[in-house]
Amino acid sequence: MSKRFIPFLIAAAVVVQSPSLMAGAQAEPVFTLAQVSAERRPEVVNIDRFQVSPNDKFEPGTKLVFRVEGTANAKAFLTIPGSTDPLPMEEVKPGIYERAYTVRADDDLTKRFVNVRADLKRGQNVTTATLKPGEKAVTPGQGVIK
C-alpha cells in the first residue's frame, strides 16, 4: 500500500470510531426486507389426487366427473385428448376442482380418454397429473415451476 493513502485510512478510522460523532446518531438498517403478500409469494403447487368417476363406463351419454384435489386458490384445467383447448375446472371448495364431461357419440373412445391431464397453476408455478386408462385415481405430489 502506498504511504500517501495511510493518512486517509487513519482519518476514516477515527471518524467511524469517534464517540462524539456517534453519540447523536441513530443506527439505521443498511437494508430492509421487502414484505410480499401471501397471494404474490412463490409457492409449490400440489395435486394431491386426480380422479374420474365413473371410471369404467365411457359410453355415449355417460357423465364423467373429473376431480382434482390440491393447492387452493389456483387455476385448474382439464385436457382431454382431441379437445382443442384445455377445459377450465371450477373450484367447488378450497383446493377441490371439478369438471363434468358427457361422453358424445362421436368421441373416439380408443383415443379420447387415454392420458387425460389435469394442470393446476398459481402464478408461474404449475403441476400436472395424468390419468391413464384403467386408473381410478393418481396421487402425483409436488409440481414444478415452468
Please report where in the chains the cell 367447488 appears, as a residue.
Answer: 92
20-48 residue pLDDT tens: 545 555 555 454 444 555 555 557 899 99
**What does the pLDDT read at residue 108?**
75
Query: What domains are there in the chain, each with its CATH number?
Result: 46-145 (2.60.40)
Q: Please determine, for residue 3, whether its predicted confidence score (pLDDT) is greater than 80.
A: no
Q: What is the per-residue pLDDT for 66?
A: 92
Q: What is the pLDDT of residue 40?
A: 56
Which pLDDT belongs to residue 139? 58
User: pTM here?
Assistant: 0.64
Contacts of 47 (CB under 8 A, 6+ apart): 68, 69, 70, 71, 118, 120, 127, 128, 129, 140, 141, 143
Whose grid coordinates read 426486507?
Answer: 33
Give dist(CA 33, CA 6) in Å, integer: 37
Q: Rg of the Cα trace of the chain?
A: 29
